[in-house]
Amino acid sequence: MPIKVALHHLTHYRFDRPVQIHPHSIRLRPAPHSRSSILSYSLKVNPEHFINWQQDPTGNFLARLVFPQRAWELRIQVDLVVELHTINPFDFFLEPEANTYPFDYPAEMEADLAIYRSPADQSDELTAWVKEIQETVIQPGITTVDFLVNVNAFVANRVGYIIRMEPGIQDCAHTIRSAKGSCRDSAVLLMHLLRRLGLASRFCSGYLIQLKADEKPRTGPAGPSEDFT
């Protein structure tokens, strides 16, 4: 059964004097290939501005904003209503030549995928992980899907989840040594690990809509006891 949720995102800056706001590129709109059903979307920006909607080479929307006059504030507001469905993560097809790991990418894709294959983290800690995976996870004739599942499990079993409010992303070595990280830390670690293992991978950002809080609030209930997302 799908769940309908609303998301409100506000970024608001106030200045102590009128300032010239430089052009902005806003990437706060779901991609057209999103699996979730986008029921409504709005982007409101102050002060007065010119806006042009564009798409990057991978199909993501971006709003190019130009502000002709000085302003006392910058306010960017996104409102989104989305219908969430249960998604089967294995609902995809592989080309026959990519059914088993390792495999070679077609020559015509090499240029497009180069940015997603390097540079990869070269720390000693990640190198040790790569060696361990090659010795314990990769078996002759392993399917690519099983390989991906096993690498994901490898990371999940060694990195505990924490809520980390500090800005930025931990480097891979720190995450491995501390054995804990936020979801973005683990995602970047997995991305670099897959690149070191020969697969093209990239980091994708987005909104986390989570109906059940990670930690129990100190004051009253904050949602259902189970997470349905």
- How open is the CA angle 5-202-60, to the nearest 5 degrees? 55
- Supply the CATH classification number for the domain 96-196: 3.10.620.30
User: Would you state the pLDDT for residue 29?
Assistant: 93
Per-residue tokens: 42: 């709005």
Its pTM surpasses 0.75: yes
Q: Residues 12-22: pLDDT tens digits?
A: 999 999 999 99
List of long-range contacts for 54-63, beta carbons under 8 Å, 24+ apart: 59/31, 59/32, 59/33, 60/27, 60/31, 61/27, 61/29, 61/30, 61/31, 61/32, 62/25, 62/26, 62/27, 62/29, 63/25, 63/26, 63/28, 63/29
- How open is the CA angle 9-12-14, to the nearest 5 degrees? 175
pLDDT, mean of residues 57-64: 91
User: Would you state the pLDDT for residue 118?
Assistant: 87
pLDDT, mean of residues 78-91: 92
- In Å, how far are 81, 104, 110, 111, 117 from 107, measured between CA atoms? 41, 9, 5, 8, 14
User: Would you state the pLDDT for residue 211?
Assistant: 75
What is the third-level CATH fold of 3-84? Immunoglobulin-like (2.60.40)
User: Would you state the pLDDT for residue 41?
Assistant: 96
Segment among 14-18, 64-68, 163-167, 219-223 with least mean pLDDT: 219-223
In the structure, what pLDDT confidence band is assigned to residue 203 with cuts at 50, 70 and 90? confident
Domain ranges for the chain, please list them. 3-84, 96-196
In the structure, what pLDDT confidence band is assigned to residue 209 with cuts at 50, 70 and 90? confident
Distance CA 195, CA 121 (A): 9
pLDDT, mean of residues 128-145: 94
* Average pLDDT along the chain: 91
Q: Residues 87-124: pLDDT tens digits?
A: 898 999 999 999 999 999 999 999 999 999 987 899 99
Q: Which residue has the higher pLDDT, 207 or 80?
A: 80
